[in-house]
């Protein structure tokens, strides 16, 4: 298929990330949840706070803002949909190939290749940067979980998302996680205390 020289098809494709909700929140009754783009944007900002001198934070920002790019075509595939990891990866690779070989203008082929490489780096967790961004991905979800619990004033317990906390490895992100979970625990104590009055 011939590649357009117009950037517009790419803009229209990535625009879907701004309007596609993160599906996991929908399954748990969150009205108007964050979009995929919301999630990636906050991840990008969080990676700027990396204080590990062994990690290239500029590369982390790039990885964060492309890691869910395939979802502009395949949507946000969650475990609720019973799609195997292999099939999810296949669908996302197909989408990334379409984006980088057919949608991005051919005069930007080198840039498209970089986007695909960043996506694969994240998928395979092949560098310290990709591993850091994977931790940020989980941390951002946990932060969002707590924000929704507060928004719903304790009427929604989203602790089923807490499994992700066990997978965070980087010391800096683990420190942030500890702060977050301490605040969350205090929040739930207050909620439970108020309900007993």
Kindly write down the DSSP assignment for every residue of 72-138, as one continuous string.
HHH----GGG---HHHHHHHHHHHHHHIIIIIS-GGGHHHHHHHHHHHHHHHHT-SHHHHHHHHHHH
Alpha helices in 3-69 (DSSP H): 8-19, 23-27, 36-47, 57-66
In degrees and rounded to multiples of 5, residue 52 shows phi and psi of -85, 115
Q: Contact at 8 Å (CB) between 46 and 26?
A: no
Helix (H) or strand (E) holding 185: helix 171-195
Which sequence spans correspond to the domains of the chain? 7-196
**How far is Cα 172 from Cα 71, in angstroms, rounded to an integer?**
28
pLDDT in single tens digits along all 197 residues of the chain: 455 689 999 999 999 999 999 999 999 999 999 999 999 999 999 999 999 999 999 999 999 999 999 999 999 988 778 899 899 999 999 999 999 999 999 999 999 999 999 999 999 999 999 999 999 999 999 999 999 999 999 999 999 999 999 999 999 999 999 999 999 999 999 998 876 65
Instruction: Supply the pLDDT for residue 179.
Output: 98
Instruction: Supply the pLDDT for residue 1.
Output: 45
**How far is Cα 171 from Cα 190, in angstroms, rounded to an integer?**
29
**How far is Cα 147 from Cα 143, in angstroms, rounded to an integer?**
6
Place of tokens 């929908």: 26
**163, 165, 170, 174 alpha-carbon torsion, rounded to 10°:** -170
Q: Which fold has domain 7-196?
A: Hypothetical protein af1432 (1.10.3210)
Exposed (0-12), middle (13-18) or buried (19+): which is 131, by Cβ within 10 Å? middle
**How far is Cα 99 from Cα 96, in angstroms, rounded to an integer?**
5
Q: In sequence order, which residues have a C-beta less than 8 Å from that of residue 88 and are 6 or more positions away?
A: 77
């Amino acid at each position: 298929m011939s590649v357009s020289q117009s950037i517009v098809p790419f803009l229209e494709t990535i625009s879907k990330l701004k309007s596609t909700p993160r599906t996991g929140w929908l399954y748990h009754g969150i009205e108007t949840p964050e979009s995929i783009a919301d999630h990636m944007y906050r991840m990008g900002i969080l990676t700027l706070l990396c204080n590990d001198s062994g990690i290239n934070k500029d590369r982390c920002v790039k990885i964060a803002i492309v890691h869910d790019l395939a979802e502009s075509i395949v949507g946000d595939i969650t475990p609720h949909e019973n799609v195997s990891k292999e099939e999810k990866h296949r669908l996302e690779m197909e989408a990334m190939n379409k984006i980088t070989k057919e949608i991005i203008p051919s005069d930007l082929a080198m840039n498209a290749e970089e986007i695909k490489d960043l996506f694969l780096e994240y998928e395979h967790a092949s560098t310290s940067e990709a591993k850091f961004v994977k931790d940020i991905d989980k941390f951002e979800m946990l932060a969002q979980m707590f924000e929704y619990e507060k928004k719903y004033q304790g009427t929604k317990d989203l602790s089923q998302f807490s499994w992700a906390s066990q997978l965070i490895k980087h010391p800096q992100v683990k420190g942030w996680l500890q702060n977050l979970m301490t605040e969350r625990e205090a929040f739930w104590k207050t909620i439970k205390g108020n309900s007993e009055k």
